[in-house]
Structure 1
Amino acid sequence: MHIQHCFGVSLLLLGHLNLCLCNLTPRVSFPFESPGRSVVQFTNPDIGNTTTLLLSDDEATLFVGARDAVLLLDVSQPGVMEMKDKLDWSPSSTDLDDCSMKGKKKVDCHNFIRVLHFLNSTHMYACGTHAFSPRCSYIDLKRFSFVTNPSGKPHEGRGRCPYDPYQRNTAVVVDGELYTGTVADYRGNRPVISRHLSQGLHTDLKLDDTLGWLEDPTFVSSTFLPSKEKVYFFFSEVGREYDFIDKLVVSRVAQVCTNDVGGQRTLQRRWTTFVKAQLLCHNENELPYNVIQDIVALLPTEGGAEDETLFYGIFSSQWSVNSGKSAVCRFQLRDIKAVFAGNYKVLNRDTLRWSTRVQEKFASPGQCGLHNASDSTLRFVKDNFLADQSVQPVGRILSLVSPDHGYTNIAAQRVHAAGGRNYTVLFLLTESGFLHKTVLLDKGPHIIEEVQVFRNPQRVKNIFLSITKGVVFVGSSDGVTQVPISNCSFYQSCAECVLARDPLCGWDHCSRTCVLVSSGPENLVQDVESGNAEGICRSPTVSPRSRSGVQRPPSVSCPPSEHVYVSLNEVVKLQCPEVSRLAVRHWERPNSLLSPNLYIQQTDGSLYFLAAPPTLGHYSCFSVENGYRQCLADFLVRQQASATSRAVIPTSTQNRSTTTQVALNKVTPTSQGTQPVRVRTITTEVGHGARGPELTTVQEVIQVSTTGSRDRHSGQDDRNLSSFRQPRLTETASIDGELLSVTNGKTYYWELVAVTVMLVMSLCVLLMGALYALRPHCRHRMAPQVCPGTDSNVGGDQERDPLSQPTVSVMKPSKQGMEKPMAVSSSMPRGSNGHLPNTPI
């Protein structure tokens, strides 16, 4: 016990320390109803929960089990999905009242079709929850109607269909017999794996729920392998063998033989070939993904052994460290058979505890044909049905780990790529409603694209792949969506086709299109493993010059330039399209670098900058993916000219005589920190009018280097500051690829004068306020110094005039040589020194 506990704690710690996650990002994303990805939808406001899907043998009809109905959809033509017929199957009012009396919600008391299978070429079998009282019925395919039971009573659906519409179940038909995994009671406490509609010498079988063969399972899927005559069930349940962890959920695979008829005395009408084993989806030293969500079988290639059959399953985890994550594991049938052929754990019926002690082996549990065995042998297999070893994934590694998406349903397909190699393509449905198309490569999984198939997350959904039609059907509560498995026409160039690394698509150099490999010529090119578009798609051609005359890097051509007209001091935003989420986008300018002080490049590919004469011109957006560099957008940012300035710049010189005169004007100093510019006046004669020749004048702004030699005419012009006193705004234009600045005559001279006057007045007001505040302090410093407290010692008994001014005491020498104060009125005349006149001090 202590050893098991320590092992569990160690496993938890190792899972926290060594958890490895692969950050998978879909290369291309198509939102709901995106025009770049063609999908077909069937919706009807009166029909919901279209989640049970069944495709006919000719793949022209899709049968859909919905709420209170079975639908017949026509899918014979590509891009078409129309309802041809509808078979209503609603509970009666009495059934609905009984369901409400049981405390169930009214919305859950409908008849949700959960089982829909072909029994033969003429009939189909359907089962529904039917207001928490399961019912089943035969359906005549030719008339598309229910077959009435001779007794007139409905078929009992207990053990064939769940009571609750949200409980998961599984069912498969083998030779007209129905094998199901579900619950057999209203509360869902009696899980069963059973066989119904038995024919010939077969009898209906089920598991004995008193033996603890199943522990609160959640059934996911079931598969029949004809050569082995076995049906495999996949589910998750509580692992009672791990008694050191309370309610540890484990994933299981179980098997039963189709020729099992039960024991003669022991295990009568019970399975004698039932065994189960744990499916372990984990990496070394990591916490396992222990809850299975869905699993699908991928048959081997033509001529391959059946033991090479692969099972791809989606697993989640009950551990909080893996919350919201999903993993895909791959199991091989050969490994499953090896585990079932090994040792088994022993269940103590008294303590309900499992042990792994070695005991005498009476028989091999799970072996077909045990129904004729002795009672002692049957008692042995009854207690030894749990395999001792677990089924490990192929290579003991996970095929895919998604930290950002919770996958719920899966479909798998083996594809023969253009290079002749086979690849496995998985279609994974997320909880949020996206379908991920993923290819498994040697270096790891690669998500080719994601397609949003429904807007809101769905609680119950299903996925069905038709390889022959080349579509994936997705059923949800809102309707049925048909998604083509390939989207080759979306890739318009060889680079996009190769970088997609879609094994279904290849590039045809002759037609210069990306086509489907199965329908295209044999000389298609593709690189699924590396996506080396640089080596496959590059051609030794010389790229054209840009509009500005600058030669671009070899083999990189940009789309036609888009002109963007802006005003000075305006924030400019240039957007770069996103062709791939795996590509890194950046902006470039001809012969210059984008300084981070002037430009802001966002992660979404946009570029922000302030429009100014130095920032006008060409901008190109490039992306780099797998070493392949391509130009996505090209912009020519120009200053927006006024109506007058636009009129004077000739746009066409055809049938005109043109004379151009160029004159150099003064050098204009600019603000501090920038270089001075020279204004060159260009006068052009564009024709003759009624009054003589028509002239146009533009001014070109040329920067003058402060470190190099100056023009010999600039010495005197440098001292002319008229342009500084009256700054003028300029408009730019482009003539023969050169950037010109055309003055528009607008000035801000009077605005500058007004601001200056207001500034001076504000300073004067502040100065006067400061002087006024300092005035009392100055008066105090200029007043005479007076000794305090002398008035109380002299003339205390003499009456004072209340209106008289205060007196000042003056010390006068007495006859005894002592000082005697003498009160002097302040109203008496004083000398210039502040004392009484003619009085010695």
Structure 2
Amino acid sequence: MALILYEAVILFLGMATAFGPVPRITWEPREVHLVHFQEPEVFNYSTLLLNEDKDVLYVGAREVIFALNSLDISEKKHEVFWKVTEQQKTRCAEKGKSKQTECLNYVRVLQQQNDSLLYVCGTNAFQPVCDHLKVTSFELTGRNEDGKGRCPFDPAQSYTSVMVDGDLYSGTSYNFLGSEPIISRNSPQNPLRTEYAIPWLNEPHFVFSDVVRADPDNANEDDDKVYFFFTEVSVEYEFLSKLMIPRIARVCKGDQGGHRTLQKKWTSYLKARLLCSIPDKNLFFNIVNDIFILKTPDSKDSVIYGIFTPQLNNVGLSAVCAYNISTVEDVFAKGKYMQSTTVEQSHTKWLRYNGEIPRPRPGACINKEARAENFKTTLNLPDKTLQFAKDHPLMDDSVTPIGDRPRLIKRDVKYTQIVVDQVRALNGTLYDVMFISTDRGAVHKAISYKNGMHIIEETQLFPNFDPIQTLLLSSKKGQQYLYAGSNVGVVQSPVAFCDKHRTCVDCVLARDPYCAWNPHLSLCVDIFKESETQQDWIQNIGGNASSCTDDVRERSLQHTFKHGSTAELKCSQKSNLAQVVWKFKDDVLKVESPKYRLLEKALLIFNLSDGDSGVYQCLSEEKVKNQKFSQVLIKHVLELKKVHPHTPSPAQPTTRTEGNGEELKASVVTTQGSAVYTSTTPVVTIATSRIVTNPIFPNIMSTVAGIERSELVPEVPEKTLFLKSNDNSLLMSLFLFFFVLFLCLVAYNCYKGYLPDQCLKFRSAMSLGKKKPKADFSDCEQSVKETLVEPGSLMTQSGEHPKPAHDTGYETEADYGNGHVQHDEEHSQSYKEVKDKPFDVKCELKFADSDAEGD
């Protein structure tokens, strides 16, 4: 409960934070060139492996592995099916799993072991198995190695793996129930794993793993390091419910385990908290969803990018935090350790350890300093150091992000995967471009610079909004693609859509380091696809488009309308950060006026008159760093047809004329792109005295095709036209409906006796047709109840007093005290009389105040 209140408070405070930057442009799948791959009856394309030397993309799906052309993934090169037997499915179903979905083989590990073999593992109906796949023949070798500790049992369980020099490093669960998490190295020579202890791993959810190589030119470097990223239940913070903490763990590639202590276990295993929060808002992001390590030639300059969400994410917040790898190493090499202490008998509490630290430092790789002390391998480490490492795997210090805050915070979106590319712009500056996928099948392309974060574009990769499960980025400049895998297929997308920017201002305002404006070709080009670049190409990541010239080829459309109609002038712009401004005769239109209405992609002008003729310009105004940049998107030339006076001759038939006796020549203008097509109809005259236009249907106003008629219409008086134009049938129908409804209500209330006097007479007449009704039925009914006694029942055989009959006005069976019907002839005759005449009793019913007779 305390955790829930805590999370509610921090999320409430987080509501004050900004929604985050808005993607400047949103691309739909039909607007850009995307390549799709999907096979019938195949699902879960969640494992991707790219071999750029051979231009092959390997895809691991459910019960099948594909080899695709990485330059065009629609071209399938090879495939191999890897299915489970019916016997295995049956045994899996007996354990309570779904035979149709869970008890199949989901490919979860797909790693390049060498040039000729791929190492693959699958869930195999909850009996994980691993094998080798021959690259040339694309066949499985059939080794069927035990996959426990390398691949998850359950396809829904979290896992991660990375191949380092032929050895598979993995983080997954070691048993069927998923209750034994493990980080292991599967090596024939020296396999290692973590301890089965809560301080080492406490219900982790693995998301990523990768290796960071040591710099061979740096004499102080110690060893290659493999990093694991996961979210686990906290042991150091006390709450009534589980508090999740994002972690980074590290092991050394040269670790060989201990000699006596930690045999076949990691001696270099350490973990620390990844801190991603907004300090001034007290908002913490506790769940890590994905990690990407942007590696550089100097390993200390590598940057870790992570996607985080709050634990109770009911407001849809996502954050991207970046960490220097040097900061991580400082925490492991110089930070304080935490230790567990027992308080109140069974309660365990974790506190900072301030005692003496053994030498060599526990959890450290074998470095230059350790070798100087004659510790050549971890097998030579003293037991004191190994025991300390076993009892103190958790660091007290947290890994803080660059700038002590997230680089990007976005609301109403859940980020799932991230990859990062480092791009050198035309000015020589390096920019980190992030590609972040969402659970709605889209990818956000964002760039970080000194003044903040900018989302260049949003691309919808999957039209059905399927969540993206895997994201992969190629590194070949000029042939660089983004690959996304989901449950339904794989999509290949270019990293930039430079050719979609039509103008120089639009190209520069995109702030895309891949794109630049080529003034010689008047095109926005991908600088990495060009053989050479020139100095006069225009690119500005800050968004300053003042270098662009005004030689823009503006589209101009011509329209012809008639007086009193409504004009619809269309204008659409892609930038979500721009504002549309309309100008008429070089003056800004005030769309607040009742004459104009600004829609999302159009301008409506009502009741056109001579003063509305002219040139209308649609401009896009975008503000960047207090600078406003405008560009004309389209021009509309509006013209009204002139009307000429016309007097009909006696010899001519009567024609339709305008109210002022003027004829109208109709012109229809249709546009497609920048072309204008005009067709002129014969001159006709219009009989109506006024033209009634409907602004709800502006497309009708743009043409007068309805006026084109071959026959002449006789003149009709204005009053008749007015009556015809006002159809009263609807009003008459409504009147009749409510009148009939009123009569039904009156009849119903009258029949129920809710209405007095005359209504009662009407009811009696309808029921009997003979008796005269009384004025007040309720009083009569009471009198009958008190005095009316059934004939022949003044005294029953048992001597009981008779009960008054209850006449409700309906034909009912006789009411007897004992609940049984008598059968003697005398009573039968009297009952027949009563039944035939239900109101003909000894008391004569008169009016409301009369009494019953004869008692």
Please show how residues 401-800 of structure 1 align to structure 2 within 5 Å.
401-458=409-466, 461-468=469-476, 469-518=479-528, 519=530, 520-533=532-545, 535-539=546-550, 558-565=554-561, 567-590=562-585, 593-594=589-590, 596-602=592-598, 604-614=600-610, 616-618=612-614, 619-626=616-623, 627-639=628-640, 750-752=717-719
SS in 1 for 2:390: helix
**1:26-37 to 2 correspondences below 5 Å:** 26-32=23-29, 34=30, 36-37=31-32
Q: Give yes or no for contact 1:557–1:631 (8 Å, CA) kept in 2.
A: no
In the alignment of these two chains, the number of paired residues is 647
- The yes-or-no answer on 1:21 pairing with 2:18 is yes
Question: How far is the alpha carbon of 1:56 from its aligned partner?
Answer: 1.5
* Distance of aligned partners of 1:21 and 1:366 in 2 relative to their CA distance in 1, 3 Å threshold: farther
Q: Give the Cα separation in 1 of the matches to 2:410 and 2:553.
A: 37
1:127 aligns with 2:131: no
* Alpha-carbon distance in structure 1 between the residues aligned to 2:307 and 2:725: 75
Q: What does 1:101-112 correspond to in 2, within 5 Å?
A: 101-106=94-99, 107-112=101-106
Q: CA deviation at 1:564?
A: 4.8
- Paired residue for 1:658? none
Q: Distance in 2 between matches of 1:314 and 1:416?
A: 24
> Which residue number corresponds to residue 204 of structure 2?
217
* Residue number among 31, 39, 42 corresponding to 1:44 in the alignment: 39
| Offset at residue 591 of structure 1 (A) | 5.8
Cα-to-partner distance string for 1:88-125 (whole Å, 9 max, x where unaligned): 10000101111111111221211110000011122110
**Equivalent residue, structure 2, for 1:387:** 395
Partner of 2:310: 317
Could you tell me how far apart the structure 2 residues matched to 1:521 and 1:169 are? 44
The equivalent residue for 1:194 is: 184
Q: Give a deviation string over 1:413-454, Cα, whole Å, max 9, x none.
A: 010111221111000101100111111122222111111111
Question: Is the 2:568–2:603 Cα contact (8 Å) retained in structure 1?
Answer: yes
| CA 1:47–1:16: 2 relative to 1, 3 Å | same
Distance 1:118 1:205, change over 3 A: same
What secondary structure does 2:179 align onto?
coil
Alignment-derived partner of residue 250 in structure 2: 255
Q: Verify the 8 A CA contact 1:506 1:524 in the aligned structure 2.
A: no
* One-letter code aligned to 2:310: S
Q: Cα 1:29–1:757, aligned 2, differ >3 Å: closer, same or farther?
A: closer
Displacement of 1:615 = 6.4
| Match status 1:116 vs 2:110 | yes
Distance 1:608 1:26 in 2: 28
Q: Distance in 2 between matches of 1:639 and 1:27?
A: 38
Q: Distance in 1 between matches of 2:724 and 2:50?
A: 87
Deviation at 1:281, TM superposition (A): 0.6
Mark the CA change 1:748 to 1:353 in structure 2 (over 3 Å): closer, same or farther.
farther
Q: CA deviation at 1:306?
A: 1.4
Question: Normalising by structure 2, what TM-score?
Answer: 0.70
1:288 aligned onto 2:284: yes
What's the CA shift for 1:459? Answer: 5.3
Alpha-carbon contact 1:255-1:366 (below 8 Å) kept:
no
Give 1:515 deviation, angstroms: 1.5
Q: Which residue of 2 aligns with 1:703?
A: none
Aligned residue for 2:517, secondary structure, equals strand
* Distance (Å, rounded) in 2 between the aligned partners of 1:754 and 1:50: 68
State the shift of 1:47 in Å: 2.1
Structure 1 match to 2:227? 232
Match of 1:264 in 2: 259
Deviations 1:303-342 (A, max 9, x none): xx3111100111011135x631110000001110111121
* Cα offset, 1:194, TM superposition: 0.5
| In 2: Cα distance, 1:730 partner to 1:158 partner | 79
Match of 1:138 in 2: 132
Q: Cα 1:753–1:13, aligned 2, differ >3 Å: closer, same or farther? A: closer
Cα distance, 1:466 vs structure 2: 0.1
Alpha-carbon distance, 1:248 to partner: 1.0
| Aligned-residue offset at 1:265 | 1.5
Q: CA RMSD in A?
A: 3.7
Unaligned stretches of 5+ in structure 2? 215-222, 367-377, 647-658, 666-681, 694-706, 727-855
Query: In structure 2, what residue type is equivalent to 1:112?
Result: Y
In 1, the alpha carbon distance for the partners of 2:317 and 2:184 equals 33
Partner secondary structure for residue 390 of structure 1:
strand
Q: Partner of 1:388: helix, strand, or coil?
A: strand
Q: Would you say 1:84 and 2:77 are equivalent positions? A: yes
8 Å CA contact 2:89, 2:125 repeated in 1: yes
Whole-angstrom CA distance in 1 between matches of 2:638 and 2:145: 76
Residue 142 of structure 2 corresponds to 148
Q: What's the secondary structure of 1:409's corresponding residue?
A: strand
Q: Secondary structure of 2:285's partner?
A: coil
**Residues 210-240 of structure 1, C-alpha deviation per residue, up to 9 Å, x if partnerless?**
3531111110111111213110001111111
- Cα-to-partner distance string for 1:228-267 (whole Å, 9 max, x where unaligned): 3110001111111011352111100000111111112211
User: Is the 1:501–1:526 Cα contact (8 Å) retained in structure 2?
Assistant: no
Q: Matches of 1:681 and 1:95 in 2, distance apart?
A: 83
Change (3 A) 1:289 1:601: farther
Is 1:179 aligned with 2:180? Answer: no
Aligned mates of 2:580, 2:15 — CA distance in 1? 33
TM-score normalised by length of structure 1: 0.71
**Residue 331 in 1 paired to residue 326 in 2?**
no
Structure 2 residue identity aligned to 1:368:
C
| Whole-angstrom distance in 2 between the partners of 1:486 and 1:439 | 13
In 2, Cα distance between the equivalents of 1:104 and 1:177?
32
User: d(CA) in 1 for partners of 2:447 and 2:714?
Assistant: 65
Contact kept in structure 1, 2:538 and 2:548, CA below 8 Å: no
Q: Secondary structure in 1 aligned to 2:397?
A: coil
Report if the CA contact (8 A) 2:199-2:394 is conserved: no
SS in 1 for 2:87: helix
SS in 2 for 1:379: helix
Q: 1:747 to 1:441 in 2, by over 3 A?
A: farther
- Which whole-Å CA distance do the structure 2 matches of 1:698 and 1:57 have between them? 71
Tell me: CA distance 1:221–1:9, structure 2 relative to 1, closer, same or farther (3 Å).
closer
Deviates more, 1:514-523 or 1:257-266: 514-523
